[in-house]
Structure 1
């Protein structure tokens, strides 16, 4: 089975003498693998791809085609992992202003305390019933 799940984009170059070069940029955004030609690989992503294509074009190759194979890997989120005790029904954003929401296990306000969702922008809040 031919598995290309790790490939983000492929460039296929051909030479008048019949030789071919395939350049693959992997979904990690860094790894570059070359099949044919000089067989050089790289780890600088698109920069390597651009340099390799320029090298082979200068050597008489022609760009036959290029195409997307898979979407790139998503960037890791900068948001912290939720608290282990945090309820699963977290609102996606504040219903009032659209800002991010945080969980507070012990929020106190106007004589009441307990777990709550709080907006980081307008400070909207909602008590959580358990």
Structure 2
């Protein structure tokens, strides 16, 4: 007898901005160096919102967004930045040394880093 499964779409469970932000925070923490996972997470968050409005805000077609953010998509970094920006997020580079220090209980930044540098969560970055 075959195992019966039910389709799952995380976007259906992201009802509020706080849900979307928490989801993206968790995905970006878990993704490591997997760009496909990050794009997938961004696509799920985009579907949880109004994809048509997001298309207008990015200047891309709705179909183009669905394709770019699908599991078969391979969006340019520019497209990823446009989508994140239209959703109210931005990307920031974070020193791996700063991350290791925080895990040890210390918050440090590279000596030559600008004032205020360091990792921010997606929620904190959105507030800026």
Normalising TM by the smaller chain, what interval? under 0.3
Quick check: which one's strand share is greater? 1
Structure whose CA Rg is larger:
1
Higher relative contact order at CA 8 Å, sep ≥6: structure 1 or structure 2?
Answer: 2
Quick check: which one's helix share is greater? 2
